[in-house]
């Protein structure tokens, strides 16, 4: 167990059912058991973090973990971590070094897929927590070390067998003890060379030829993605959660960019769609461009990041409203797992007066506004359109107003489209 906690303290922690409304009673109970104020606050923080971690790791696993706020924020969701681990297993890899393992979420996923795991972490407290979290996995060993100072060519597991592949999730927040944001969390870092380890070390590791996977933020500048990498954007539950760079034997043959869309399961990776291209960024087929139609589609964010919006135009028989805008109009109805579809009910001028009249005539009392390619602040427009609307009794609309622009024969047009969502894919 981590030296930070005694067996009695861990037992007390395991017995806490944390609820915000019960904090005073829980605190009094812990104080009655002989804990001081700081220790009481620490255990209650752990209990609160466990509750938050259930969404990422599942309630059963989260209930026995030790966590830090920053570690939990950066930790990989369990379904996504298993997606990573399966790529290693399917590549025939038997062991992996998780360099900068954090709290051990990815290491646990590797172990569940039958890999031997060497988990390396520099921060002593985080390393101790990772060892606790990985205790149920005998094939996982935690080693406290600075990745930048390791002889990576000589990495071996506890039995002395060479490590076959590497996984890195660089720290993208400032070190403990550095300046904090007003909310108390470590500040995010956006310069890849300021990550820990820095991106230059990652590129050097890739050049060794070792199979390598690197988790990055989804907003990474595409120009900074090395030419030898497959770039995979992953979305889970409709949110783009990461970009993974795959090198050497872990890179899919002939693939430069990929979008992987996972379903809502929090624990298992349900792949709804995996779209890939061998063309570099800024290259490849161009989708047709045209005017609005009867149906409007918006691709999943991972598809947009991977510059694969042309696939949506092909799948729906549609056309982009503009080469730089990720909306596709079509005259055909399709239901796709990797795109949101709407039926266009009405096309409206993008001016406040006709839109306000539309709101009044349809009894709209609640309104969602989506936009691409137009300089409009949706919340400000929403307040303007609903000002004076009668609450209650109105029919309202289930779908949003979608605002965009397109090129027409007479020049650029801007418009608003009242839509209703299509059903889910079969």
pLDDT in tens, 315-357: 999 999 999 999 999 999 999 999 999 999 999 999 999 999 9
In a domain, 403, yes or no: yes
Structural domain includes residue 283: no
100 and 168 in contact (C-beta within 8 Å)? Answer: yes
Residue 282 belongs to a domain: no
- Residue 65 inside a domain? The answer is no
Closest CA to 35 of 58, 10, 54: 10
| Assigned token pair, 274 | 């995996």
Rounded to 5 degrees, φ, ψ at 104 are 95, 15
Question: Is the pLDDT reported for residue 193 higher than 90?
Answer: no
Q: Are residues 27 and 91 in the same domain?
A: no
| 390 and 359 both lie in a single domain | yes
Same-domain check for residues 375 and 263? no
How much is the average pLDDT of 203-217? 94
Which of 277, 304, 332 is the endpoint of a domain?
Answer: 277
Predicted confidence (pLDDT) per residue in 84-106, tens digit: 999 999 999 999 999 999 999 99
Residue 393 belongs to a domain:
yes
- Cβ burial of 92 (10 Å; 0-12, 13-18, 19+) is exposed
Same domain, 218 and 122: yes
CA distance 295 to 309: 16
Mean pLDDT of 229-251: 97
How many structural domains is the chain composed of?
A: 3
**Which pLDDT band, with edges at 50, 70 and 90, does 181 fall under?**
very low
Q: State whether 98 and 240 are in the same domain.
A: yes
The dihedral formed by the CA atoms of 370, 374, 377 and 382, expressed in degrees to the nearest 10: -50
Q: Are 111 and 253 in a shared domain?
A: yes
Q: What are the residues whose beta carbons fall under 8 Å from the beta carbon of 341, sequence distance 6 or more?
A: 295, 296, 297, 316, 333, 334, 335, 421, 422
- Domain-ending residue, one of 225, 249, 277: 277
Range of the domain at 83: 72-277
Residue 123 and residue 165 in one domain: yes
For residue 157, what pLDDT band results from cuts at 50, 70 and 90? confident
Please say if the pLDDT value at position 182 is more than 80.
no
Residues 127, 95, single domain; the answer is yes
Lookup result for tokens 């990576």: 152
Can you tell me the distance from the alpha carbon of 212 to that of 254, in angstroms, rounded to the nearest whole number?
17
In the block, tokens 């038997």 appear at 94
**pTM recorded for the entire structure:** 0.89
Residues 381 and 410 in one domain: yes
Nearest-angstrom CA–CA distance, 297 and 263: 19
Residue 369 within any structural domain of the chain: yes
Distances (CA, A) of 120 to 23, 166, 355, 396: 35, 11, 57, 55
CA 292-423-421 angle, to 5 degrees, is 45
pLDDT-based confidence at residue 188 (cuts at 50, 70, 90)? low
Q: Which residue has the higher pLDDT, 24 or 171?
A: 24
Clarify whether residues 262 and 387 are in a common domain: no
Buried b (16+ CB within 10 A) or exposed e, 172-197: bbbeeeeeeeeeeebeebeebeebbb
DSSP string, 223-275: GGS-TT-EEEEEEETTEEEEEEEEEGGGSPTT-SEEEEEE-S-SSS--EEEEE
Q: How confident is the model at residue 271 (pLDDT cuts 50, 70, 90)?
A: very high
Average model confidence (pLDDT) for the chain?
90
The CATH number given to whatever domain includes residue 147 is 3.40.50.150
Is the confidence at residue 389, as pLDDT, over 90?
no
Secondary structure of 124-140 in HEC code, one letter for each residue = HHHHHHHHHHCCCCCCE
Confidence of residue 155 (pLDDT cuts 50, 70, 90): confident
Specify if 212 maps to a domain. yes
Confidence of residue 180 (pLDDT cuts 50, 70, 90): very low
Q: Does 351 share its domain with 326?
A: yes
C-alpha to C-alpha distance for 186 and 346, rounded to whole angstroms: 47
Burial class of 203 by CB neighbour count within 10 A (0 to 12, 13 to 18, 19+): middle
Q: CA-to-CA distance for 299 and 313, rounded, in angstroms? A: 10
In a domain? residue 285: no
Q: Are residues 356 and 271 in the same domain?
A: no
The per-residue pLDDT for 390 is: 63
CB 221 within 8 A of CB 283: no
Long-range residue pairs from 404-407, CB within 8 A, at least 24 positions apart, any chain? 404/321, 404/322, 404/325, 404/327, 404/371, 404/372, 404/373, 404/374, 405/321, 405/322, 405/325, 405/373, 405/374, 406/290, 406/291, 406/292, 406/321, 406/322, 407/289, 407/322
């Amino acid at each position: 167990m981590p030296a930070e906690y005694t067996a009695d303290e861990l037992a007390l922690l395991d017995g806490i059912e944390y609820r915000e409304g019960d904090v005073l009673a829980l605190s009094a109970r812990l104080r009655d058991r002989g804990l001081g104020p700081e220790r009481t606050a620490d255990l209650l923080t752990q209990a609160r973090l466990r509750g938050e971690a259930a969404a990422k790791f599942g309630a059963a696993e989260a209930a026995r973990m030790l966590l830090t706020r920053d570690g939990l924020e950066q930790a990989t969701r369990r379904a996504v971590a298993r997606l990573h681990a399966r790529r290693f297993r399917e590549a025939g890899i038997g062991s992996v070094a998780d360099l900068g393992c954090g709290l051990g979420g990815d290491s646990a996923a590797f172990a569940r897929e039958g890999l031997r795991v060497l988990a390396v972490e520099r921060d002593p407290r985080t390393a101790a927590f990772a060892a606790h979290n990985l205790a149920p996995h005998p094939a996982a060993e935690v080693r406290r070390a600075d990745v930048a100072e390791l002889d990576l060519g000589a990495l071996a597991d506890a039995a002395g067998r060479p490590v076959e592949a590497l996984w890195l999730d660089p720290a993208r927040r400032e070190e403990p003890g550095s300046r904090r944001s007003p909310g108390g969390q470590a500040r995010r870092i956006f310069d890849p060379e300021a990550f820990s380890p820095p991106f230059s070390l990652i590129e050097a590791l890739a050049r060794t030829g070792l199979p390598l996977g690197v988790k990055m933020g989804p907003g990474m500048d595409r120009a900074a993605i090395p030419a030898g990498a497959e770039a995979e954007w992953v979305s889970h539950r409709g949110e783009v959660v990461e970009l993974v760079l795959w090198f050497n034997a872990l890179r899919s043959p002939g693939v430069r960019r990929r979008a992987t869309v996972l379903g809502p399961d929090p624990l298992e990776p349900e792949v709804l769609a995996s779209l890939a291209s061998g063309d570099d960024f800024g290259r490849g087929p161009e989708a047709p461009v045209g005017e609005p139609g009867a149906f409007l589609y918006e691709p999943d964010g991972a598809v947009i990041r991977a510059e694969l919006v042309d696939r949506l135009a092909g799948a729906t028989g549609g056309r982009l409203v503009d080469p730089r805008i990720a909306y596709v109009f079509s005259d055909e109805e399709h239901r796709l797992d990797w795109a949101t579809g709407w039926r266009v009910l009405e096309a409206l001028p993008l001016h406040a007066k006709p839109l306000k009249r539309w709101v009044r005539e349809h009894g709209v009392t609640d309104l969602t506004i989506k936009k691409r390619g137009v300089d409009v602040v949706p919340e400000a427009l929403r307040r303007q359109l609903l000002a004076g609307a009668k609450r209650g009794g109105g029919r309202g609309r289930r779908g949003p107003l979608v605002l965009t622009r397109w090129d027409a024969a007479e020049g650029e047009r801007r418009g608003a489209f009242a839509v209703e969502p299509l059903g889910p894919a079969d």
